[in-house]
Chains A and B, each alone.
Chain A
Amino acid sequence: MSTTLDLPTIGNRADAVVTPRRRGFWHNLWRVLRRKPTRMAGAFVVVVFVVIGIIGPWLYPANLPTDSNLILSGPSLAHPLGTDFQGADVLALLVTGTRYVLVAAALAALLTVVLGAAIGLYAGYRRGLADSSLMRITDFVLTIPGFPLLLVLSTVWKFGSALQMGLVLGITGWGGLARSVRSQTLSLRERGFVEAARGLGLSTPHVIRRELLPNIAPYVAMNLLIGVTTFIYSQVGLFYLGVLPFKAENWGVMIFLAVNNGVTQTGSGLFYLLAPLLSILLLTLAVVLLVDAMDEVFNPRLRED
């Protein structure tokens, strides 16, 4: 459109190159968050979950007390979210399960981002043989269906700790990011400033670190956030399918046991099932709102409206 209208002020598309602004990031984020109450709510929910994840397991005894008279009961004053099939408090289960869920997801997202960005940058910058062989590998990783692979892996790997879970999720999940980072690198490479840096004879690590990385960092940061939600789904899903040890404290174990104790058939103890499901939804919603805010921090163009 900009080429057909004589409107340089509104028609022209600002160059998408983002200059690094490390110093102002938190300041900008705060300003952007305050612009919409929904974003504040999102940030608040995320913070609450993180706090629960940190202190949750310390709030309750290692073995939760059970009350055999109150099995799959509805919400009450003593048990705000009801009880499970053994008579344990659902809220306590939810709170103690949060740490595993968040730690595994965060570790996986971090691994994905590091692996994906490194492989994508290297392949896109180097091109040639390194690129084609790395992308072949990426294609393979992408084609192998992720969940089924994790299921098969669960026969040898018991995912007892959140760190093990995060490690496996991260190692199997970097394909998509590597691919898009590569294509962004390929297009950045053609831009004047990268050409110029290469023309000046700067070393490859320097060009990647100082010229390319700052420009893909926003995209990678967004992926880190979105990755957290994705990995929450997959680990909770693995536990939900019941192929993993259900001694682990994870929301997925709650879902699995709720379904296996007939909650979906009879409807009694509905909160036992709904609590983890709604927690996932709430956390997802919060992250979506936060991503919206991040989008604005990284894309100054969106700020004008």
Chain B
Amino acid sequence: MPKAVRQLAGHLLRGLVMVWIVTTFTFVLVHEMPGNPVQAQYESLIEKGFSPDAASRQVAVTYGFVPHGSLWSQYGHYLSRLLHFDLGKSVSAQGVSVAKEVASAAKWTIGLVLAGVVLSFALGVVLGVVAAMRRNSRLGDGLSIAGSLLHGVPQYVMALVLVTLLTVKWPLFSTGDVNGLIQPGFNVAYIASIISHAVLPATAFALSSFGGYLLTMKSSVVSVLGDDFILAAELRGLSPGLVFRYISRNAILPLFTVLALSFGFMFGGAVFIESAFNYPGMGALLVSSIGQRDYSEMSGAFLLITVAVILANIVADLLYTVVDPRVRRASGT
């Protein structure tokens, strides 16, 4: 167990370093931005008749750092606020804290990405196995070609085609804004509205990303089929069902590596899908904050997306450790 703990600690430490790099990056970005938005807000507040002190405090509330002082003191101020989970205040939605906005958007995105990942993973694995088993038939060929084509279709193309087809031609699902009446959480209304709003986005998500899993799974199954232990199991008279389980469990391992690598891509893809479907997630928030020059909100959304990717990576890594005894029980390091 201490080994697992050490591993987790290592992951978390690296994650923290990542978060630090990303926050520093956004701090520098906002600070060095042409037309310095921090200074701009400060000056406009002064013009409105605020005292320098009050204006300074107001700016600090918004951006998480004071507009004056050395770069280092501003940076220190900014980091210390972050440590208290204070991401500043939104400029566009006056007075609302960024942390709150980002957190509510995160709930929608996580639901979407989770549904999309589960759907595409399941679809890719099942069809990949079929493609491998029937690899010398038309069905197998067709699946492989479909896989590599769909793998190549960008998420927004898939999303836009679905939106146009389904909202223009057959208006079945709502794609408008989820109104603020429903409280996100584990209640029926929220889950129902997620389902009705998330079906299309999640479908677009799954359709545009299962191809990669299909191709990986196919080649993995083909290589496991050639492994000695499968023939050995057959020669031991193992039932076909069990032999199939041996094949599939071994073949699925490389997919976890692919999965871990694709989270960054997925949360990125969520940006496109969310804005195509007007889905109120982190990606849409990021895009709208940039459009409205709401830089504190932008930093917050970007930070949270990064954190989500890091956490997803850690989970995928731990999952891999659980399923592969060679990693779990490796001696030494």
Contact = CB atoms under 8 A, between A and B. Distances in A.
Contacts of A153: 29
Given A144-B18, A145-B264, A243-B291, A151 B157 contact: no
**Main SS class of interface, B:** helix
Contacts of A142: 261, 264
Interface stretch (A99-107, A160-168, A279-287): A279-287
B226 A1 contact: yes
Contacts, number: 123
Nearest to A278: B157
A35 to B, nearest CB: 16
The size bracket of the interface on B is: 35 or more
B291 to A, nearest CB: 6
B22 A240 contact: no
Given A273-B160, A280-B157, A143 B309 contact: yes
A255 interface: yes
B167 A148 contact: no
B228 interface: yes
Nearest to B277: A264
B231 interface: yes
A217 interface: no
A131 to B, nearest CB: 15
B272 A237 contact: yes
B269 A147 contact: yes
B290 A264 contact: no
Interface of B: 14, 18, 21-22, 26, 29, 32-34, 148-149, 152-154, 156-157, 160-161, 163-164, 167-169, 226, 228, 231, 261, 264-265, 267-269, 271-272, 275-276, 283, 286-287, 290-291, 293, 295, 298, 301-302, 305-306, 309-310, 313
Q: 6 nearest interchain CB pairs?
A: A147-B268, A233-B154, A267-B168, A284-B152, A145-B264, A145-B268
Given A4-B231, A156-B29, A264-B163, 8 more contacts: A143-B313, A144-B309, A145-B267, A152-B286, A156-B34, A243-B287, A259-B276, A273-B164
28 contacts: A140-B21, A142-B261, A143-B309, A143-B310, A143-B313, A144-B309, A145-B265, A147-B269, A148-B267, A148-B271, A148-B306, A151-B286, A151-B290, A151-B302, A152-B290, A155-B290, A241-B287, A242-B287, A242-B291, A243-B290, A255-B160, A265-B167, A265-B168, A267-B164, A277-B157, A277-B161, A285-B152, A287-B152
